[in-house]
């Protein structure tokens, strides 16, 4: 996986990106999440957004999922 600057991401970096993408997907689709699941996942996604942004993958804004 390359970022938007053309740099190859390491395996650990790719794993973090996949975590972020997975969380965003769950928060978009998971209608059955309990409050403790949704709100903790939102906190995690807000933190992981910083990683994805810092890795130059332009995560955009994620207000639509509440973060």
Partner 1 sequence: MKESPYWNPRHETMPRDQIEVLQVRKLKNLVAWTERQVPWHAARLKAAGVTAESIRSLKDLRRIPLMTRDEWMQAQLEKPPFGPLLAAPEDVAIRYHLTSGTTGRIPLQVLDSMKDWEWIAEMWCYGFWGFGVRPADIVFFAFSYGTFVGFWGAHYACEKIGCLVLPGGNMTTEARVKQILSMKATVVCSTPTYALRMAQEAKTMGVDLATSPVKRLILSGEPAGSIPATKRLIEEEWGAKAADTAGMTEVGTIMIFECETQPGGTHIIEDHYIEEVVDPATGEPVGYGELGERLITSFGRGMIPVLRYRTRDLVVRVPANTCRCGRTFDLYEGGIRGRVDDMKLVRGTNVYPRAVESIVREFKEIDEFRIHLYTADGRQDEIEVLVEIPGSEDANADRILAELGKSLSQAHEGLRFGVKKVENGSLPRFELKAKRLQDDRIVIGTAGERRATA
Of 36, 3, 42, 39, residue with least CA distance to 23? 42
Beta-carbon contacts of residue 53 (< 8 Å; ≥ 6 apart) = 59
Asked if residue 22 binds partner 1 (CB under 8 A), the reply is no
> φ, ψ for residue 2 (rounded to 5)?
-105, 150
What is the spatial distance between Cα 56 and Cα 36, in angstroms, rounded to a whole number? 30
Among the residue ranges 4-12, 14-22, 26-34, the one whose residues contact partner 1 (CB under 8 A): 4-12
14-22, 29-37, 50-58 -> range binding partner 1 (CB under 8 A): 50-58
Residue number with CB closer to partner 1 (4 or 34)? 4
Q: Which residues bind partner 1 (CB under 8 A)?
A: 4-5, 7, 42-43, 45-47, 49-50, 53-56, 58, 60-63, 66-67
């Amino acid at each position: 996986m390359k970022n938007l600057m053309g740099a190859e991401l390491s395996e650990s970096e790719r794993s973090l990106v996949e975590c972020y993408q997975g969380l965003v997907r769950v928060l978009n689709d998971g209608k059955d999440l309990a409050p403790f699941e949704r709100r903790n996942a939102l906190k995690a996604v807000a933190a992981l957004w910083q990683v994805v942004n810092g890795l130059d993958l332009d995560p955009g804004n994620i207000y639509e999922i509440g973060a």
